[in-house]
């Protein structure tokens, strides 16, 4: 029996109909049984056709073809067959085959030991002489099987169609029914209820299934034995591989003091959960840890462990890896430990906002461990569930439902959402649907009009979701043991950091020639600048009307309704828009920019350039051994040079290309020079990333 470990190592986690988030059962079926199942399917397709009875001289390409043909003939005529004898020669291999009626021969007498009691079962064998014998001949190098003897004379009654299907040879449970039986058994259904459910689902009368209740019982019992055997092997492999992973973490910690890891053990002192992160990730979190996405998409079949990964978004709009965790289960306790460990890795700093999926236990853990953090359910985790929940239920109405659902998600007003949600539920008859009730109860965590007050740093976008998915697929694309998986995570994290550095030198075109645009280009990263630039361009299509209290109503020149209220406080140069774009992304909206332009601002106030979107957030270095050294003369000079370099190089494409080309060559030269120097001169220095506001 093949090991379960030979299967795909990681699967996307999904919720089964039984309500369990992880319902994975594997089974290695017997090859001969699988063959018989396929024969039954073929037999059923041939029953409506006229079959010629086997005859002496009939030719088959293989003995398997002959057995299949005779089996189909037998089922159509009220009996079943079995393989009896075969004969072997050194030259031809198996050269004779005997197929007989299932009632051929006589059952051997059982020897009873004294004191033992056996059930006196009556044998079905009665000496029936119906048979088909084959012989193999090789003609011109091609093997063929000939019928050399055939008899269709039976000494017993042949069965009708509704009886022959219940012979053991034909009572086979197909793969789809096997999966359904296992699912119902896992959910706690007794055997007789499972049979009843299958009959109802297939719309047939009682007793019309192609198998009996005892076949279902035997199948479930045999499968449990297989699972128990595999579990024993997997438990041993799981323990060994987990210890190797732990040793790899310890070795990495010895080589890199900035590496962090933690683990828990169960009552048997075996590793239960394990989490790790890297020094560069901890420092990145200090800069970009205001928003965190906790991904729990993947679960390992081999190790029966959930993989959770923490991501942020950097100042270039790219996912940034903060760390990961392997959990033995998905309980509130395990999720709480994972969150506690992340905060401990990140030196006690909690995010402003955390995104996750709909798992209720994870939601409870976040509420418990991060009471001051706003929790958002990412829309890309919701949409696949919407499809699985409603596509079959609504049928041809689903496209209309999906269109309305998407429109509801994007509504800017909570009042409009409440009204149209009730209308949608009524139109599609979903008033009693439990999934609709769940989505509505969680609306404040996923509907745009509710979550716009949460700082998301433009993380809740399709582009970001695809980038995270690509990162994870890069990890899980290579099947390996846990230690190999650990190494693959490290490689992927390093590649991500390299891509982050490559995006710093991008040329940024001017499109409006506004002083605000020119000033912003010198401060913001390409990603943040492009976002602000797009808002500036669109702001030209808006008109601002000043109100008596000094506030503004800003509306698009083609739209009568849908205006935004912009509150302007001149004393503090504060601006607030009802669309909440700045509160959500940290980038000023078109409505606020329209007001700044009307007030003849040539530069935006510094407060509206968040440190997370500034260029210098990528250039923060300091000596780990004394934080105050970052203020020394060398650091100030270095920071000033790098800031001026990137600012000047972004003015034209020619400058940008020149810097990218020459800087790479010069840094390579310096790096090679440093590597040629002695590794230890008694005055060690480390340069790593540090936050500054």
d(CA 288, CA 303): 32
> Which pLDDT score, from 0 to 100, does residue 555 have?
92
Identify the residue whose tokens are 């099947």.
479
Top pLDDT among 479 and 31 is at: 479
pLDDT of residue 356: 93
Question: pLDDT by residue (tens digit) across 572-601?
Answer: 899 999 999 999 999 999 999 999 999 999
Contact yes or no for 324/309 (Cβ under 8 A): yes
Predicted pLDDT of residue 450:
92
Q: What letter does residue 16 receive in the DSSP assignment?
A: -
What is the mean predicted confidence (pLDDT) over 137-156?
91
Comparing 341 with 122, which gets the higher pLDDT? 341
**pLDDT bucket at 683, cuts 50 / 70 / 90:** very low
Whether residue 520 is predicted with pLDDT greater than 90 in this model: the reply is yes
Q: What is the pLDDT of residues 183-198, one digit of tens each?
A: 888 888 888 889 998 8
Name the average pLDDT for the chain.
82
d(CA 431, CA 188): 29
pLDDT of residue 58: 93
Residue 315 has pLDDT above 60, yes or no: yes
Bigger pLDDT: 688 or 454?
A: 454
Name the residue among 584, 588, 640 with its Cα closest to residue 291: 584
Band of residue 636 on the pLDDT scale cut at 50, 70, 90: low
DSSP 682: S
User: For 316-319, which contacts have Cβ atoms below 8 Å and span 24 or more sequence positions?
Assistant: 316/500, 316/503, 316/504, 316/525, 316/526, 316/527, 317/458, 317/463, 317/464, 317/527, 317/528, 318/467, 318/496, 318/499, 318/500, 318/503, 318/527, 319/293, 319/464, 319/467, 319/468, 319/471, 319/496
Torsion, Cα 302 303 305 308, to 10 degrees, reads -80
pLDDT at 326 over 60: yes
Q: What is the pLDDT of residue 417?
A: 94
Query: Cβ(290)–Cβ(341) under 8 Å?
Result: no
Contact indicator for 619, 630 with CB cutoff of 8 Å? no
Task: Report how far apart, in Å, the C-alpha atoms of 551 and of each of 520, 535, 547 are.
Answer: 25, 20, 5
Query: How many of the other CB atoms lie within 10 Å of CB of 220?
Result: 17
Query: Is pLDDT above 50 for 622?
Result: no
More confident residue, 118 or 72: 72
Q: What is the DSSP string of 313-370?
A: E-TTS-EEEEEEEEES---HHHHHHHHHHHHHHTTTPPPSEEEE-S-HHHHHHHHHH-
Q: Determine which of 111-115, 154-158, 238-242, 686-690 has the lowest per-residue pLDDT on average.
A: 686-690
Residue 530 has pLDDT above 80, yes or no: yes
pLDDT at 113: 60
Task: List, for residues 186-234, the tens digit of each pLDDT value.
Answer: 888 888 889 998 888 888 888 888 888 889 999 888 888 777 776 777 7
Query: pLDDT tens for residues 496-510?
Result: 766 665 555 566 788
CB 104 within 8 A of CB 129: yes
DSSP string over 111-179: PPPTT-----PPPS------EEEEEEEEETTEEEEEEEEEE---SSPPPPHHHHTTSTTT----HHHHH
Task: Count other Cβ atoms within 10 Å, centred on residue 247.
Answer: 11
pLDDT of residue 14: 52
Lowest-confidence segment of 7-11, 453-457, 666-670 by average pLDDT: 7-11
* Per-residue confidence band for 12, with pLDDT thresholds at 50, 70 and 90: low
Q: What is the pLDDT of residue 95?
A: 92
Residue 675 is predicted with a pLDDT of 67
Per-residue pLDDT at 672 exceeds 80: no
Q: How confident is the model at residue 118 (pLDDT cuts 50, 70, 90)?
A: low
Contact of 282 with 260, CB cutoff 8 Å = yes
- Determine the pLDDT at residue 120: 60
Mean pLDDT on 515-536 = 93
Q: What is the per-residue pLDDT for 203?
A: 84
Phi and psi angles of residue 581, each rounded to the nearest 5 degrees, phi first: -65, -45
pLDDT of 525 strictly over 80 = yes
pLDDT of residue 692: 34
pLDDT-wise least confident of 263-272, 412-421, 678-687: 678-687
pLDDT at 485: 87
Window from 76-90, 99-113, 246-260, 592-606 with minimum mean pLDDT: 99-113
How large a percentage of the chain has pLDDT more than 70?
Answer: 81
pLDDT over 90 (residue 22): no
Cα–Cα distance measured from residue 62 to residue 110, given in angstroms and rounded to the nearest whole number:
36
The H-assigned helical ranges of 540-605 are 581-585, 590-598
| Parallel/antiparallel/unpaired status of strands 319-327 and 305-313 | antiparallel
Task: Among 118-132, 291-305, 422-436, 598-612, name the one with the lowest average pLDDT.
Answer: 118-132
């Amino acid at each position: 029996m093949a090991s379960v470990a030979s299967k795909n190592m990681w699967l996307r986690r999904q919720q089964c109909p039984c309500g369990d988030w992880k319902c994975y059962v594997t089974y290695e079926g017997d090859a001969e049984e699988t063959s018989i199942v396929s024969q039954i399917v073929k037999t059923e397709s041939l029953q409506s056709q006229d079959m010629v009875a086997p005859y002496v001289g009939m030719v088959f390409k293989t003995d398997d073809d002959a057995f299949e043909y005779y089996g189909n003939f037998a089922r159509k005529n009220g009996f079943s067959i079995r393989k009896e004898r075969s004969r072997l020669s050194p030259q031809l291999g198996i050269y004779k085959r005997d197929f007989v009626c299932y009632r051929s021969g006589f059952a051997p007498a059982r020897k009873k030991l004294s004191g033992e009691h056996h059930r006196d079962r009556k044998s079905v064998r009665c000496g029936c002489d119906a048979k088909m014998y084959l012989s193999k001949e090789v003609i011109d190098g091609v093997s063929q099987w000939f019928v050399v003897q055939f008899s269709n004379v039976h000494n017993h009654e042949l069965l009708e169609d509704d009886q022959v299907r219940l012979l053991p040879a034909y009572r086979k449970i197909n793969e789809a029914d096997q999966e359904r039986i296992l699912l119902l058994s896992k959910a706690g259904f007794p055997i007789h209820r499972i049979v009843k459910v299958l009959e109802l689902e297939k719309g047939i009368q009682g007793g019309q299934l192609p198998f009996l209740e005892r076949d279902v019982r035997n199948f479930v019992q045999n499968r449990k034995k297989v699972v128990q055997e595999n579990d024993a092997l997997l438990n041993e492999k799981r323990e060994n591989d987990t210890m190797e992973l732990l040793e790899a973490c310890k070795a990495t910690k010895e080589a890199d003091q900035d590496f962090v890891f933690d683990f828990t053990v169960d009552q048997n002192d075996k590793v239960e959960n394990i989490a790790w992160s890297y020094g560069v990730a901890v420092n990145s979190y200090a800069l970009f840890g205001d928003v965190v996405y906790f991904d729990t998409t993947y679960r390992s079949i081999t190790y029966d462990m959930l993989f959770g990964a923490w991501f942020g978004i950097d100042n270039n709009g790219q996912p940034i890896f903060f760390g990961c965790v392997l959990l033995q289960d998905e309980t509130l306790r395990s999720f709480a430990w994972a969150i506690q460990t992340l905060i401990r890795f990140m030196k006690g700093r909690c995010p402003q906002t955390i995104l996750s999926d709909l798992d209720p236990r994870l939601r409870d853990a976040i509420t418990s461990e991060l009471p001051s953090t706003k929790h958002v359910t990412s829309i890309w985790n919701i949409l696949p569930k919407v499809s699985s929940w409603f596509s079959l239920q609504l049928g041809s109405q689903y496209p209309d439902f999906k269109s309305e659902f998407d429109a509801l998600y994007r509504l800017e007003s909570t009042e409009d959402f409440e009204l149209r949600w009730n209308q949608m539920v009524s139109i599609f008859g979903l008033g009693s649907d439990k999934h609709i009730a769940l989505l509505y109860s969680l609306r404040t965590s996923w509907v745009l009009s509710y979550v716009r007050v949460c700082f998301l740093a433009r993380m809740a976008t399709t582009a970001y979701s695809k980038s995270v998915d690509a990162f994870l697929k890069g990890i899980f694309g290579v099947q390996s043991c846990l230690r190999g998986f650990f190494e693959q995570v490290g490689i992927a994290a390093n590649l991500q950091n390299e891509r982050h550095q490559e995006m710093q030198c991008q040329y940024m075109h001017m499109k409006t020639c506004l002083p605000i645009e020119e000033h912003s280009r010198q401060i913001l990263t390409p990603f943040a600048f492009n976002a602000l630039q797009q808002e500036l361009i669109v702001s030209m299509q808006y008109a601002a009307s000043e109100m008596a209290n000094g506030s503004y109503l800003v509306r698009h020149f083609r739209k009568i309704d849908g205006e935004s209220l912009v509150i302007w406080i001149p004393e503090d140069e504060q601006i607030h828009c009802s669309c909440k774009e700045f509160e959500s992304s940290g980038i000023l909206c078109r409505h606020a920019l329209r007001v700044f332009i009307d007030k003849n601002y040539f530069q935006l106030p510094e407060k509206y350039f968040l440190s997370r979107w500034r260029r210098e957030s990528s250039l923060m270095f300091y000596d780990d051994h004394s934080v105050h050294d970052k203020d020394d003369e060398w650091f100030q000079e270095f920071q000033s040079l790098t800031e001026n370099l990137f600012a000047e190089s972004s003015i034209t494409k020619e400058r940008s290309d020149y810097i990218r080309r020459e800087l790479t060559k010069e840094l390579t030269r310096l790096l090679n020079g440093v590597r040629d120097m002695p590794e230890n001169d008694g005055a060690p220095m480390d340069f790593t990333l540090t936050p500054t506001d």
